Amino acid sequence: MAAFIDDTAIQVIFWQPLPDGSFEKPARDYLQAAGARRPLLLLAFAPKCAGTFLRQAAVHALDGQLVRMCHAQGGRDGTLYLPNILAWSLDDGAPATVTHIHMQALDANRHFIQAVGLKPVIMIRNIADTLASFLDMLEVDPVARAEGLNCQIPTNFCDLDRNDKLDFMIDAIAPWYASYYATWKNFAGAAGDTVCVLRYREFRENPAETLYRAIVHAGFATTRYQCGKSIEHAWEGKENFRFNRGISGRGRNYFSPGHFARLQKLLSYYPQLSGWKTDLLD
């Protein structure tokens, strides 16, 4: 069954939000009612935090579908796309839906999430380990180099010496991660149980439990047993889901004390991250 896009839905699609991204009545009321029709598993993970792997496991656990809910993947710093959101919410016959988007919780995104009543899931991972994994991906994957992360990857990236590559990860890529976590820390603190905060170390210790928490948070029914079987299924094809090594502490083997000092300074601009410091840096 395809979504029924009536005149009201079309009007809402063309209803321009306020400059901060919030919706006025009656568009806001319509979006809240539409979003309440069915759940959506929104994995708003940063890159290299097992999002691709977990989304595949979730699709298997729910016997569902993966749907792109952003306008475009290029640049990776995504925003939700209203036509796709309405098409999902109005299609009562569609399978359970999972979406994965690298998205900061900036004000416009927060207003969108709250207008539709979504319950996003994020993953906290040590930033140095994440950057190490991201660097590995950039060195071997031309698609990843073309996408970047809200920045352009130099065309000669693979020809740079090792120190220049490491500096680039700290200078150009790490600031996005700091802002990403700062925005989500604000949102999680202000929005009660709207945001499910997962931790990478817990995912490594018990991936089935992590998957179960994400699915149940979004409003779906599942079992821990089913989640365990789905993790096993996804693990068989992990090479296809950009799952690198998932080893904690790799960043210490990549980055120098000077790099870590710069990371410390970067995170210090966001005092709200003090409660997540152990997970993000130590």
Let me know if residue 1 belongs to a domain: no
Let me know if residue 2 belongs to a domain: no
Q: Quick one: pLDDT at residue 245?
A: 58
Average pLDDT (241-270) is 87
Average pLDDT (221-242) is 87
Per the structure, the count of domains in the chain is: 1
The CATH number that applies at residue 139 is 3.40.50.300
Average pLDDT (112-133) is 97
Res 238 pLDDT > 80: no
Which residues are CB-contacts of 89 (< 8 A; sequence separation ≥ 6)? 3, 34, 35, 37, 38, 40, 116
Pairwise pLDDT comparison (61 vs 237), residue with the higher score: 61
Q: Quick one: pLDDT at residue 6?
A: 86
- Predicted TM-score (pTM) of the model is 0.93
Res 267 pLDDT > 90: yes
Res 140 pLDDT > 80: yes
Rounded-to-integer distance, Cα 84 and Cα 112, Å: 13
Res 243 pLDDT > 80: no
Judged by average pLDDT, the poorest of 116-130, 192-206, 240-254 is 240-254
Pairwise pLDDT comparison (74 vs 114), residue with the higher score: 114
Res 71 pLDDT > 60: yes
Per-residue pLDDT of 1-21, as tens digits, reads 467 788 999 999 999 999 999
Q: Quick one: pLDDT at residue 45?
A: 97
Average pLDDT (141-156) is 93
Let me know if residue 239 belongs to a domain: yes
Average pLDDT (81-104) is 94
Q: Quick one: pLDDT at residue 203?
A: 96
Res 115 pLDDT > 60: yes
Pairwise pLDDT comparison (3 vs 202), residue with the higher score: 202
Res 241 pLDDT > 70: no
Let me know if residue 89 belongs to a domain: yes
* Residue 151 lies in domain: 7-280
Q: Quick one: pLDDT at residue 226?
A: 98
Report the percentage of the chain scoring pLDDT > 70: 96
Average pLDDT (100-107) is 96
Q: How confident is the model at residue 248 (pLDDT cuts 50, 70, 90)?
A: confident
Residue/partner pairs of 82-86 with CB below 8 Å, 24 or more apart: 82/12, 82/13, 82/112, 83/13, 85/34, 85/35, 85/116, 86/3, 86/5, 86/9, 86/12, 86/13, 86/34
